[in-house]
Homo-oligomer: A and B are copies of this chain.
Amino acid sequence: MPRKRNTRRSPDMPTLADVARLAGVSEITASRVVRAQGPIADPTRLRVLSAIAALGYIPNRAAGSLASAGSTLMSVLLPSLSNIVFPDVLRGIHTALTQTAFQPVIGVTDYDPLIEERILISFLSWQPAAVILAGLHHTPVARRYLEQGRFRVAELMDIDGDPVDIAVGMSHRQAGYETGRHLIQRGYRRFGYARHNILTDDRASARYEGLCTSLQEAGLSLIAEHRYPGPSSTKAGRDTLEILLSAHSELDVVIFPNDDMAMGGIFHCMYAGITVREQLGIFGFNGLDIGQAMPMPLSTILSKRFLIGKTAAEKLLESRERPPEKTIINTGFDIIEGATA
Contacts and interface: CB of A to CB of B under 8 A. Distances in A.
Contact of A125 (B10, B58, B90, B270): B58
A108 interface: yes
A292 to B, nearest CB: 7
A161 B18 CA distance: 37
A224 to B, nearest CB: 22
Contacts of A237: 293
B58 A290 contact: no
Contacts of A106: 90, 104-106
Contacts of A88: 81
B81 A94 contact: yes
Interface in A122-138: 122-127
B289 A267 contact: no
A192 interface: no
B63 A66 contact: yes
B63 A121 contact: no
A290 B271 contact: no
Contact of A9 (B59, B69, B73, B267): B69
A290 B90 contact: no
Nearest to A12: B148
A122 B103 contact: yes
A71 B81 contact: no
Given A58-B124, A62-B71, A121-B58, A267 B295 contact: yes
A91 interface: yes
B289 A235 contact: yes
A294 interface: yes
Interface in A275-311: 289-290, 292-295
A126 B271 CA distance: 53
Nearest to A101: B122
Contacts of A82: 87, 91
Contacts of A126: 61-62
A171 interface: no
Nearest to A235: B293
A234 B293 contact: yes
A292 B235 CA distance: 8
Given A91-B108, A103-B122, A233-B293, 5 more contacts: A10-B69, A61-B125, A105-B105, A235-B293, A270-B294
